[in-house]
Amino acid sequence: MKTPLLMTILFSILPISELRGAIPYAVYNGFSIPLAAAISIAANVCVPLIAFLFLESFHKLFYKIKPYKKFFDRFVENARKRVHGKVEKYGYWGLLFFVAVPLPVTGAWTGALGAWVLGLSYKKAFFAIAGGVVVAGIIVSVLVALWGVGTQTIFFKTMH
């Protein structure tokens, strides 16, 4: 049986939905906004740990395969060339702000993948990503609160 709590946690750790889907889902299913945010943020903060472990273990296995190694080395070299200046300029703060923007493809999964590809310190990247997750959670919570107030106002105006 799928409970709203388990589904909220699942949405929080899925790459597509993350906080942007988990918080509205939880609120829709009766959670208060602070509780929905707390659960979603706590689950989403685990994403970089899962991602780093997953990427590191699979990468070691696949790196033994020549086509993968060739593709990966070329991909990483190109990625590092493209973002080297920005990483040098903004560092881990840039990673935090990137994850904090609650738009598609800017969450904890993409932040962790980027940090891993760029060879950033896992510990520092984790804290930057976690900070971004907290900021994104606050932004999404505020938007859900504003949306809820707006829809209630519109609903009650149309009822009278």
Which helix (H) or strand (E) covers residue 26, if one does?
helix 18-28
Evaluate whether residue 33 is within a structural domain.
Answer: no
pLDDT (mean) for 89-117: 91
**pLDDT higher at 5 or 117:** 5
Q: At what angle do helices 18-28 and 33-45 cross, to 10 degrees?
A: 150
Residue 110 belongs to domain spanning: 47-159
| Residue 86 domain flag | yes
Q: What is the pLDDT of residues 22-31, one digit of tens each?
A: 999 999 999 9
Q: How confident is the model at residue 157 (pLDDT cuts 50, 70, 90)?
A: very low
Q: Is residue 62 one of the residues assigned to a domain?
A: yes
Residue 78 lies in a domain: yes
pLDDT > 70 fraction of the chain, expressed in percent and rounded: 92
10: in domain: no
Which residues does 108 contact at the CB level (< 8 Å), separation at least 6?
Answer: 18, 44, 45, 47, 48, 51, 99, 129, 132, 133
Quote the percentage of the chain above a pLDDT of 90: 61
Band of pLDDT at residue 13, cut at 50, 70 and 90: very high
- Residue 154: predicted pLDDT: 42
Taking CA 87 as the corner, what is the angle to CA 114 and CA 94, rounded to the nearest 5 degrees? 80
**Integer CA distances (angstroms), 11 to 17, 19, 39, 121, in order:** 6, 7, 11, 27
- Number of domains the chain is built from: 1
Pick the closest to residue 18 from 156, 127, 124, 129 (CA basis).
Answer: 129
pTM over 0.85, yes/no: no
